[in-house]
Structure 1
């Protein structure tokens, strides 16, 4: 299938994140209908730019405050609720307020010897702040956080039987920062763990491609997926071996949503099932994922042009569908980029109701 696409590059909205920001993680513009437009940012100069249609927008900056230390700075979210009317190229700086932060240090005495890295992560109860710190060989950590209430979590990277697992232990404890340093916080591991294991089988796809994994999201986390710039403390990923097997240990009595992510290529993924199975890990559990057939791959190509007919290069093209031919409850996501002639070529699973998203290059 071949397409001709006209891309309205819209208006350039740009500015600088000023105030107490040290580095900028992300900036997004939100239209009045809720549509989100992610901006391109230069984290060190704190400049951002985004192409948007004419309309009225609010801005949100995710940033780390300027501190005199080299590590442990928190990640903060600031919502600039001023209505910004854009009818032409516009400039809107974001002034983030000064936020006092306090030292938090402590240890994880029961961590033991790890085969990979380990971090402690903090998530504010209002979803507007987070932080993380590496746990050293002597099981100690230090970070900086603004005043507030936090869930304290652990993220452990371990080499499992079928690849590298990233294990998120959400809400291993709680923390209140009340306007003063916290000199000695002890984070305890959960009292017990259980094993989650299973097999991913796709008829006609053997071996399972390297890089595939099962995502495991702790459903107790209130902000899972909502604030993507905060350090993720609630998602585990369990590597799928070429045989299709996966295995990992997770806290007992926690509830999880599961999904298989099968990597068809560097830019193409299958995700299933659409409705994630929910489990409560009250003991060792087996959860298999099965597809009766591997979807057939077909070419999808096209040319992206500006309203004046000129080819537009470096446009990110994303094709997604939840209605694949011959399989149910499976989603596909494929990403590509236009060349200097505005051309893109994708290989997508056969299906219908594809949504194509075209993200213009940074202004």
Structure 2
């Protein structure tokens, strides 16, 4: 009896770079000792900053936040996660994957929850890919959709990054001539060439994997709209927290500074899931350039970590499902039709 032929994927095959082995999702990610050290140092720096400002001042800022402000911010953080799932759902459906909105949300929340504990910045994406393969989605389609999903998310944040840089690069005493001279100076720093080569290789890989969606720009447009929905909900959650702490800040300044924090913690993976590093970056950016107090910046950093962790908790209920064998006779998701 002949086996049923597998459906062909509409996406181009993604091949590894020369000299780079293609690693499958079955290999567990190893925690780098340097990343563990970076996590410990980042957390130690966070504790030092809180102690330097005073534990009493820090707790007073937290105590001034009314409870309903936190719940409103949590609801907005949850809505931002729904937009992330909707973005991936849009990309999968445009690639011919017959997946339901509920299934895409389940996989997304599983990945978001797992990313709180996995060592790499793409650990949550690997969990989503494992869940997609479990549902019967073609691995090539699933991997490419996740790459494009991350690319669209970066594009949304990149649209605000120039405004964040305009805020950071114009402190008191820095002339316009010094601002123009800063980028060439950065290019001469040690290790910048290695980062540039890695970034160039990364974008070449993104280009190969996004060829299909580039031929369907409407799907990229819808995904980008979902990204902006995610960003608006995230920035509103931060705005609500700052209002509750009586540290008002413009919505646009919140978004501009958050975009810098996003790229800083994403492109500098020296700690596990940005633990400690993200908190230090948030407290520094919003206190030094946003004008809020350092105590409020530290409180905002801790509350933001709590919000995103709590908003991803629904994924904990579904994560064990991908560890069980797929039931016989149950229909899986069709992919690549």
TM-score, length of structure 2 as denominator length: 0.21
Higher helix share: 2
Q: Higher relative CO (CA 8 A, sep ≥ 6), structure 1 or 2?
A: 2
Q: Which has the greater radius of gyration?
A: 1
Higher strand share: 1
